Structure 1
């Protein structure tokens, strides 16, 4: 096993081991997606069980992105806010020179979550991430920073 910093995300737990960095080119840095066969397969629901960030990578943290448009306006519709929040996340990724396949972990916050919202959430995360689904945690909340906000997504990103 190479000497590296490894991050393993399992159900919100971060396990870190540190060692001497090795020389790796930017093209070698890839997230490793882990979905153990003895666990429930989460991919139909739009996430992976664990994602390992190679130790040679830098890590960025993107603050929660809500469903505000460029003027700060929020639609009262949950699906519209989710779509806009993922568009805002894509813009934030672009702003730090990253792509969706570099996202290791998402945390999503949903106001008054119920099972009817899962289809909207799953559809949007799959549209953005395709087959390379990040680890993800959904946190039901009674409210967010601004009363009309119904959804927020934050990300942990591997930078090359």
Structure 2
């Protein structure tokens, strides 16, 4: 192969690896979709769908319960929810992510009833603001540890 062709090939490879303006952080944001023809989920603290950017890496955060740093659990549902979201925030920080990178939450609620929705909605809105992830609530009879009343797991898009 001639030296000119080798230089062209090497130059082509270098050009292909140079980042372009299309890789800006704006292109790495999640797109929230709430079709107008469906019930508006935002007042309840979630979005209908979230589109992840092409080529994004995905991280999965295991269920975070309401244990404090010593493993203690309050018997109060609202306190456990608040602590679980604080634990989720700490887990996000541990992987270098922020709440606006969470695409999907799954929450598990022991003996769910409508009286628990206020605490759930308040805490998710405090953490995520207007960038509400898609979310599924799963009522369960119990969780891994008997005093646990709430658990939240997350799917996170990394930049």
| Secondary structure at the counterpart of residue 113 of structure 1 | coil
Q: Distance in 2 between matches of 1:142 and 1:109?
A: 10
> Who is 2:95 aligned against?
96
Q: Distance in 2 between matches of 1:55 and 1:149?
A: 37
Question: What runs of 5+ residues in structure 2 fail to find an aligned partner?
Answer: 1-18
Question: What runs of 5+ residues in structure 1 fail to find an aligned partner?
Answer: 1-21
> Who is 2:77 aligned against?
78
Distance 1:71 1:54, change over 3 A: same
Query: Which runs of at least 4 in structure 1 moved beyond 4 Å after TM superposition?
Result: none
Q: TM-score, normalised by structure 2?
A: 0.85
> Who is 1:140 aligned against?
139
Q: Distance in 2 between matches of 1:25 and 1:94?
A: 23
User: What is the CA distance between 1:55 and its match in structure 2?
Assistant: 1.7
Q: Which has the larger radius of gyration?
A: 2
| Secondary structure at the counterpart of residue 79 of structure 1 | helix
Q: Distance in 2 between matches of 1:100 and 1:115?
A: 26
User: What is the CA distance between 1:133 and its match in structure 2?
Assistant: 0.2
> Who is 1:18 aligned against?
none
Q: TM-score, normalised by structure 1?
A: 0.85
Identify the structure with the greater strand proportion: 1
Identify the structure with the greater helix proportion: 2
User: What is the CA distance between 1:56 and its match in structure 2?
Assistant: 1.7
> Who is 1:7 aligned against?
none
Q: Distance in 2 between matches of 1:124 and 1:25?
A: 33
> Who is 1:19 aligned against?
none
1:111 to 2:113 alignment: no
> Who is 2:28 aligned against?
29
User: What is the CA distance between 1:151 and its match in structure 2?
Assistant: 0.1
